[in-house]
Structure 1
Amino acid sequence: MTCHGVVSHPVNLSHTFYGIMFDAGSTGTRIHIYTFIQKDPVELPVLDNEMYHAVKPGLSAYKDKPEEGGNTIRALLKVAKKTVPEDEWKQTPVVLKATAGLRLLPKEKANALLDEVREVFDESPFFVPNNSVSIMNGTNEGVLAWVTVNFLTGHLYAKTRKTVGILDLGGGSTQITFLPKSKATAVIHLFRLDKYICIMLQDTQDFYKSDTLFNCHPRWGQCNNWFTLSGLDWKVFTSSCLPKKFREDWTFGGITYKVSGIPDGYAGYKLCYYEVMRVVKGIVHQPFEVKGSSIFYAFSYYFDRAVESGLIDGSRGGMVEVRDFKKRAKEVCNKMTKYRPISPFLCMDMTYITCLLKEGFGFKDNTMLQVRQEQVTGHKGRGQAPRR
């Protein structure tokens, strides 16, 4: 009997799969198509790549025409069909999470939009899980952002408990999320998730005062427009944060407002900062962690306004000290005529960011922030940091 040796070759057990996530924000709808690779069944998959595409305006702009809102989702699903191999369509889950834009709509209008999206998903070739279309609350928004950033930066893989914090400034809410170092922080002041993650968030409606309206601009996005009531007209608001001769109609939450500068008054950084401080000061708890050496990533409108004002390069992001936002806010506010073609709200936006970081959260002037986009770029092993 003759025996023949058998040469064994390692079997390639790696598996590639996909996931489709819609982020229905206040100012736009974004699709993220993720590619994951699982090299071994007993190991966690790693993020290999992401396809990102966005459209404006956001779903909330179609509150009276939900069918048109559904068409924006159909258009984005075409991007998914081109990205995901056809033989993977039935196994690829598609999910939409809406944030403050829909949270702030009347319930019946928000539900009509969600129902329309469900119909669009059901007619698509992708896998539609239960509860695939929903409105995400601000708490989950902050927690998931924290998990995402720490996954992409590799901190969730590390054996140590060292992580980074996140600062998110969106269209209708703002979150600061971090790993607490102080027991007082974890127990007393903030939301706690298994004693590991703390999140501090503030929705716009919580910032309402009798003589000051703190609202979200539907075009520029962040929760940073505060206007003093002018006379007895409860729909006209003025602010020293706007150019003196500026006046514009804008709609938010189904109500149209007239906003303007103060034609016969003064404008500039000092007056604007005072207006913002009346809204921010004392309302937000200042956690111990921001005063230490914790690393924070800032994205969304922190990034957009830093780029718009020339603080960082839009293609790469960058490191920014809190005092840099302050310095640039002064320049913008005291030279509004120069920056007005870019955005008449830039002074207001930059001053709000400065005041929120300093007076609200309690960051020091020399605190260094990693200002990045939210879009992910993949590489071997795991994803990179947020890029937006």
Structure 2
Amino acid sequence: MASSSKDTPGVGKRSLKAPQLRDAAKQNAETKQASGTIRVGLMLIGIVIAAVAYAFPNLSSILNGEKIVDQSSCQKYALMIDAGSTGSRIHVYRFHQCTHLEPVRLEEEELFAQTIPGLSAYPDNPQQAAESLDILLKEAQALVPVQLQKRTPIAVKATAGLRLLGQTKGQDILDAVRHHLETRYPFPIVGGKDGVAIMDGRDEGVFAWITVNFLLGNFDPSPISRHTAAVLDLGGGSTQIVFEPDLLEDGTLPPLPDNDFKYVLNHEGRDYLLYQHSYLGYGLMEARKRIHQQVLDQALEDDLSHACLPRGLAWDYTKGTDPVQFLGAGSFSDCLGVADLMLNKHKECDFSPCSFDGIYQPPIADTFTKGPIYIFSYFHDRTIPLGLPASFRLPELAQLTESVCSGAYLENVTDIALKDELLDRPEWCLDLSFIYRLLSFGYEIPDDRELTVAKKIDGVETGWCLGAAIAILGDNSLRDLT
């Protein structure tokens, strides 16, 4: 009977003698050792590659002959001080821009701070005016990285408040501010004499236009054609309007007279034809003075009735050294009449059509039919606290104004803080009446047109400051600073 391989040695299995077993074990060990050496080698190579990549992040670009940009140089700051008629405000912006050839991108408004009163409150003490900015400048200095401070530009732009002081006193204050900045702070003043100056009203409006349209993304490359927004700014001493008139039907630019109202702006390689004007003396604080004077001019000898003050209020008003006491009448229609007279709508118009005070303006109803209208500053501060929606039409503002002037609005206020605010400021009816008539009668904005009130867009303050900061960031002198 045949035996199975299981029972018979040497059949079906190969038997290894002791020397053969030792050789096999040795070979196996050598194989494992070689494999381990390879793995360690590969790990070391990986570590070296990672170290090189970390130390030289642009190595692949270098090998390909590409231009290298130091990413640490892409972070930029700009400081803008708005020396307004009622206070001084500082904006500290952080941008991203690797070279001057690429568009600037706003990363964040890192600081917005303000101090009251403004520079114009120190007409006879220029040094005190300059030192009033210290509280703002120290905050900025603590915020901007030390290594960037010597190439972080700063500018001080004074607006209507200093204009109204007169040239000599205003310039003395600006000279003191410049010297204070140059001797106490590391930030370079760019723009030559315009670095610390009374800002031209033209620039104030156009910079505000840049700010709003920049924040709305209207300068971004887009396959969708979007019309730029019009901007209306209401400060304490002046008010500005800027808009880009519609193209004609054949796609060409509309004709605008070659005068101060025409502004050709080149922004990021594209030309924009703008209409602009700044009305000095028609800011809210100046409008109050004008309206009070209008009432005085029309008053009878023994009747100082004031249509724009709350009914029954005896209110002391000081004009120069002669105090007078108005008696409030609280009349919406009569207050509108006073505001209309103050706007000087019937002044001779040298170049028609005109808006008010004899100033040329293409009609919004006919020449700006597509874009949105943004209003801010005191337009915001006098309407939003009273519950006017962020987007509204003029009949809504008229209804609110009538309610405030008649006293009906106050009777229905349940918010104690708001009620105290209304009682503490008797000029609410006056302010709203002026704002309503400035928009409807002065600028002739149609009743069916939507207006958007915006104090901020995407968390960034509207107004001219961001637009001006973008401009100083592009100053060529910054390229020579280290």
- Point out where structure 1 has 5 or more consecutive residues left out of the alignment: 205-213, 313-317, 379-383
Residue 65 of structure 1 is matched in structure 2 by 125
1:171 touches 1:216 (CA, 8 Å); kept in 2?
A: yes
Task: Output one character per residue of 1:222-252: Cα deviation in whole Å (capped at 9) or x when no partner.
Answer: 9866532269999x9863112343424457x
Q: Cα gap change, 1:84/1:376 in structure 2, threshold over 3 Å: closer, same or farther?
A: farther
Give the one of 361, 369, 372 matched to 1:295. Answer: 372
Deviation at 1:89, TM superposition (A): 1.0
Shift of 1:112: 1.8
Question: What TM-score do you get using the length of structure 1 for normalisation?
Answer: 0.81
Moved more, 334-343 or 366-375: 334-343
For residue 153 of structure 2, what is the aligned residue in structure 1? 93
- Offset at residue 37 of structure 1 (A): 0.8
Asked if residue 168 in structure 1 is aligned to residue 250 in structure 2, the reply is no
Amino acid at match of 1:176: I
More displaced, 190-199 or 70-79? Answer: 190-199
Give 1:47 deviation, angstroms.
Answer: 0.8
Q: Contact 1:225 / 1:348 at 8 angstroms: preserved in 2?
A: no
AA paired with 1:143? V
More moved, 240-249 vs 76-85: 240-249
One-letter amino acid matched to 2:113: H
Residue 66 of structure 1: CA displacement? 2.3
Contact 2:240 2:277 in 1 (8 A): yes
CA positional deviation for 1:154: 1.1
2:186 counterpart residue number? 125
In structure 2, relative to structure 1, the CA distance for the partners of 1:41 and 1:102 (3 Å cut) is: closer
Q: How big is the shift at 1:12?
A: 6.5
**Structure 2 CA distance for partners of 1:221 and 1:147, relative to 1, 3 Å:** farther
- TM-fit CA distance, 1:137: 1.8
Greater helix content: 2
1:55 and 2:115 correspond: yes
Q: Secondary structure at the match of 2:141?
A: helix
CA distance in 1: counterparts of 2:458 and 2:305, whole angstroms:
39
Can you list the C-alpha shifts for 1:148-202, whole angstroms capped at 9, x where unaligned? 1111111122454621110101111111100012666723897112261111331
**Secondary structure, counterpart of 1:52 in structure 2:** strand
Q: C-alpha offsets along residues 110-152 of structure 1, whole Å, 9 cap, x if unaligned? A: 1121122112211212112222210012111111111111111
What is the aligned residue count?
A: 359
Tell whether 2:334 aligns with 1:271.
Answer: yes
Which of 90, 94, 105 is the equivalent residue of 1:35?
94
1:105 aligns with 2:165: yes
Say which SS state the counterpart of residue 96 (structure 2) adopts.
Answer: strand
1:151 to 2:214 alignment = yes
Which is higher, the Rg of structure 1 or of structure 2?
Answer: 2
- For residue 333 of structure 1, the aligned residue among 405, 413, 416 is 405
Amino acid at match of 1:240: A
CA distance in 2, matches of 1:344, 1:127: 44
How far apart in 1 are the matches of 2:387 and 2:451?
16
Residue 290 of structure 1 and its aligned partner are, at CA, apart by 4.1
TM-score of the aligned structures, taking structure 2 as reference length: 0.66
**CA positional deviation for 1:40:** 5.8
Distance 1:42 1:222, change over 3 A: farther
SS in 1 for 2:333: helix
The corresponding residue for 1:44 is 103
- For the 8 Å contact 1:227–1:239, the answer to whether it is kept is no
CA change 1:38–1:222 in 2 (3 A) is farther
In structure 2, do the counterparts of structure 1 residues 27 and 125 end up closer, same or farther at CA, with 3 Å as the change threshold? same
Question: What residue in structure 2 maps to residue 356 of structure 1?
Answer: 438
Tell me which residue corresponds to 1:242: 309
User: Which residue is 1:193 aligned to?
Assistant: 263
- The alpha carbon displacement at 1:306 in A equals 1.1
**1:28 Cα deviation (Å)?**
1.1
Deviation at 1:374, TM superposition (A): 5.1
Cα distance change on mapping 1:161 and 1:152 into 2, 3 Å: same
Task: Give secondary structure in 2 for the equivalent of 1:311.
Answer: coil
Q: Distance in 1 between matches of 2:139 and 2:273?
A: 37
**1:161–1:202 distance in 2 versus 1, CA, 3 Å:** same
> Relative to structure 1, is the Cα distance of residues 277 and 41 closer, same or farther in structure 2, using a 3 angstrom cutoff?
closer
Q: Given that residues 249 and 256 in structure 1 are in contact (C-alpha distance below 8 angstroms), is that contact kept between their aligned partners in structure 2?
A: no
2:75: which partner in 1? 16
**Equivalence for 2:387:** 310
Unaligned runs of 5+ in 2: 1-44, 54-58, 62-67, 265-271, 348-355, 411-418, 466-482
Q: Aligned AA for 2:437?
A: C
Partner Cα distance (1:158, 1:49) in 2: 21
CA contact 1:242–1:267 (8 Å) conserved in 2? yes
Per-residue deviation, 1:369:
1.1
Q: CA deviation at 1:258?
A: 4.1
Equivalent residue, structure 1, for 2:203: 140
Moved more, 289-298 or 320-329: 289-298
Distance 1:308 1:171, change over 3 A: same
Tell me the CA shift for residue 67 of structure 1.
2.5
CA contact (8 A) 1:94 1:127 kept: yes
- Equivalent position amino acid for 2:182 in 1: D
2:339–2:437 CA contact under 8 A, matched in 1: yes
Partner SS state of residue 161, structure 2? helix
Distance 2:80 2:300 in 1: 43
SS in 1 for 2:447: coil
Residue of structure 2 equivalent to 1:209: none
Inter-partner Cα distance in structure 1 for 2:290 and 2:108: 31
Coordinate RMSD, CA, aligned: 3.4
Aligned equivalent of 2:393: 321
Q: Deviations over 1:323-373 (max 9, x none)?
A: 221111111111189364242111011011111111111112222111011
